[in-house]
Amino acid sequence: MSNLDGVFRSEWGPAVAAIARWSGDLDIAEDAVQEAFADALRTWPRDGMPERPGAWLVRAARNRALDRMRRESGRTERERTAAYEDGVARMERTDVYPVRDDELRMMFTCAHPALEPASQLALTLRLISGLTVAEIARALLQSEAAVGQRITRAKSKVRGANIPLRVPPADRLAERLPHVLACIYSVFTEGYWSTAGPSAIRDDLCDEGVRLAGELCMLMPDSPDAQALTALVLLHDSRRATRVDACGALVPLDEQDRSRWNRIRIEQGLARLRNAQGAAGAYLPQAVIAAVHATAPRWEETDWTLICRAYDRLIAIADSPMGRANRAVAIGFRDGFPAGLRALDDIGDEARLARSPTVAAIRADLLRRMGRRDEAAQWYRTALGLGGSAPAQAFIRRRLAECLG
């Protein structure tokens, strides 16, 4: 039964969401679906996969949940029977197959702003994506105990503080949606930007981020911001295979083999981008920047004017020193590197910039491209002294060697 994994991956989230809605409890839902999957693993290879595996899993999980609620009600036999019958009655009123709304509800609950962002991420990976605690711990480079505790605490807050399992009312949607978008984006970026850990896990997270973004578009077809987010992750993801070389070293955009970029991802991303008109958030300009790169046949043909304009828009929506530093690079390519350097100077002596290895490396890179190799080397050294991930440091060391050589 080779496609069991695929079925599990696609049915886990909807099943947990359906049982959560029905039982009103995330813990019960998670455990019941886990048990239903174990049941499936036992019986499907023997009896064959049911025609509608999702419906089978939800029904099995519901029976498991019902058993548990009956067992744990901690009441007299008569009350237990009443609780059981109430459960049965509720079950009969509910569709057997989960409705899509359940999943959307689940996304909003997992990404609830009353939960810490790190908890939102862990809860999403567990309850919607179906990763095990061990898998999440490996993917996020945290201990299993820490991840387990985080998820338990988040679930108990949902229960104890009574965070509702629902899509927020229309007048709060604009405020709550960014949390869902940010949570999905962090699933993707944890995989895409995380440079540590085995690459298979990073690939899983990238895939899952792309999948969740696509799901959200399906669940909220009228949200241009969901489209923009999806465009962004697809366009980034099109370069997944080329951004590191065989040794795991980072490959900068201008040295990547464009023939190996994933054309399907690019086409999908551009299609999403066309539907993203009117998006208010920061994902749209970022997706535009990613799209300009993705569609440039060669590095030399990059449309820097368009990229600068997108950075202007990005900074207008969400000003950040890092955004301005990246815009300085784009200005450097549009107007010449001295102009880029001036733009970098214009950001001022923001303390966060002074501490950022990325910004020091950006300055070094502009100087290197201008041929001011000694100064470049100095800034590369500064960048190294400020820390950063091992692959980023390795890349800077390579550049430093080039400047000295």
Residue 366 burial (C-beta neighbours within 10 Å; 0-12, 13-18, 19+): buried
Q: At closest approach, how far in Å is the CB of 178 from another protein?
A: 11
Using CB under 8 A, which of 166, 263, 274, 352 touches another protein?
A: 166
What letters, b where the CB count within 10 A reaches 16 and e where it falls short, cover 206-224?
Answer: bbbbbbbbbbbbebbeebb
To which residue do tokens 């995380």 refer? Answer: 194
Residue 116 beta carbon to another protein: minimum distance, rounded to whole angstroms: 4
Residue 24 near another protein by CB under 8 A:
no
Q: Residue 162 Cβ, how far from another protein at the closest point, in Å?
A: 5
**Which of 157, 309, 342, 372 lies at the binding interface for another protein (CB under 8 A)?**
157
Closer to another protein by CB, 119 or 326: give it.
Answer: 119
How far apart are alpha carbons 55 and 352 in whole angstroms? 52
Residue with Cβ nearer another protein (20 or 231)? 20
Residues in 116-135 at the binding interface with another protein, rule: CB under 8 A: 116, 119
Interface with another protein includes 160 (CB under 8 A)?
yes
What is the rounded distance in angstroms from the CA atom of residue 328 to the CA atom of residue 341? 7
Is the Cβ of residue 166 or residue 260 nearer to another protein in the bound state? 166
Q: What is the DSSP string of 325-339?
A: HHHHHHHHHHH-HHH
List C-alpha distances in Å: 151 to 129, 194, 197, 204, 206: 14, 21, 21, 20, 21
Site for another protein in 58-117 (CB under 8 A): 113-116
How far apart, in whole angstroms, are the C-alpha atoms of residue 304 and residue 302? 6
Contact pick of 156, 277, 305, 320 for another protein (by CB under 8 A): 156
Tell me which residues in 167-196 interact with another protein (CB under 8 A): 168, 172, 175
Tokens 């609830």 — which residue?
112
Which residues, in sequence order, are CB contacts of 214 under 8 Å at separation 6+? 230
Nearer to another protein, 115 or 279 (CB): 115
The 304-343 site mask, x for binding another protein (CB under 8 A), equals ----------------------------------------
- Pseudo-torsion of CA 319, 323, 324, 326, nearest 10°? -170
Closer CB to another protein, residue 161 or residue 196? 161
Binding site for another protein (CB under 8 A): 113-116, 119, 153, 156-157, 160-164, 166, 168, 172, 175
